[in-house]
A and B are shown apart, each in its own frame.
Chain A
Amino acid sequence: EDKVVQSPLSLVVHEGDTVTLNCSYEVTNFRSLLWYKQEKKAPTFLFMLTSSGIEKKSGRLSSILDKKELSSILNITATQTGDSAIYLCAVEAGGGADGLTFGKGTHLIIQP
């Protein structure tokens, strides 16, 4: 059974801090790993990673995949209160329902 584990489950930091969120996976026929930000109900897409070692960057957010370690990290630098959200990691793999397997998410709270 495909599995995605995120850590930490929750994190509280102060504005301006840098945070690193972790995602590890065990799946059959890995295709891609995706990061989403969920503030209310609907998640918004952040990154899709398919190749090891290539950093994807968008403003203060960046992410990288390590296929040897079966993991990915999401970094947020100079955090702002608007970064407070649940960050979801999902892995797309072949087989089964051929869909996404999500982790439980990391609940990030940025205090002013």
Chain B
Amino acid sequence: GAGVSQSPSNKVTEKGKDVELRCDPISGHTALYWYRQRLGQGLEFLIYFQGNSAPDKSGLPSDRFSAERTGESVSTLTIQRTQQEDSAVYLCASSLIVSFYEQYFGPGTRLTVT
């Protein structure tokens, strides 16, 4: 596609439910990044994938968060047993190689946990 796409664009879920957020990077981009932006906060880096290398998960806020990527394609961010503090916009970005200044951001998924 022309850019990074994310789905859904909006998600409202009840506390305690699991949610799965999807990111489709730009074709050919080997690096993929996940960020979270809570209301009134700056962006928070969560995790990135580089090619087929195992990602460093130490940036994920808790063990309820997990992320997967199959090869150099789609990535999913899963939040289990959602809490109200998980409410945020989740942004995905991709880049040709790992390069924070050359990443292209998707439109984000707004998650609201009620």
Name A residues whose Cβ lies closer than 8 Å to a Cβ of B.
Answer: 4, 6, 32, 34, 41-45, 48, 88, 90, 92, 96-105
Contacts and interface: CB of A to CB of B under 8 A. Distances in A.
Contact of B33 (A34, A41, A99): A99
Contact of B43 (A45, A88, A92, A97): A88
Q: Decide if the interface of chain A is mainly helix, strand, loop or mixed.
A: strand
Contact of B103 (A6, A45, A96): A45
A41 B93 CA distance: 12
Contact of B101 (A42, A48, A88): A48
A81 to B, nearest CB: 23
B114 to A, nearest CB: 21
Contacts of A100: 43, 45, 100
Contacts of B25: none
24 contacts: A4-B42, A34-B101, A41-B91, A41-B107, A42-B91, A42-B105, A42-B107, A43-B91, A45-B101, A48-B101, A97-B46, A97-B47, A97-B57, A97-B58, A99-B33, A99-B47, A99-B48, A100-B43, A100-B45, A100-B100, A101-B45, A102-B43, A102-B44, A102-B45
Interface of B: 33, 40-48, 56-59, 89, 91, 100-103, 105-108
A6 B43 CA distance: 13
B89 A41 contact: yes
B1 to A, nearest CB: 15
Q: Decide if the interface of chain B is mainly helix, strand, loop or mixed.
A: mixed
- Nearest first, the 4 closest Cβ-Cβ pairs linking A and B are A97-B59, A42-B105, A99-B45, A102-B42
Given A34-B100, A100-B100, A105-B42, A43 B56 contact: no
B56 A98 contact: yes
Greatest chain B CB density within 10 A among A4, A44, A92, A97 is at A97
A96 B100 contact: no
B42 A88 contact: yes
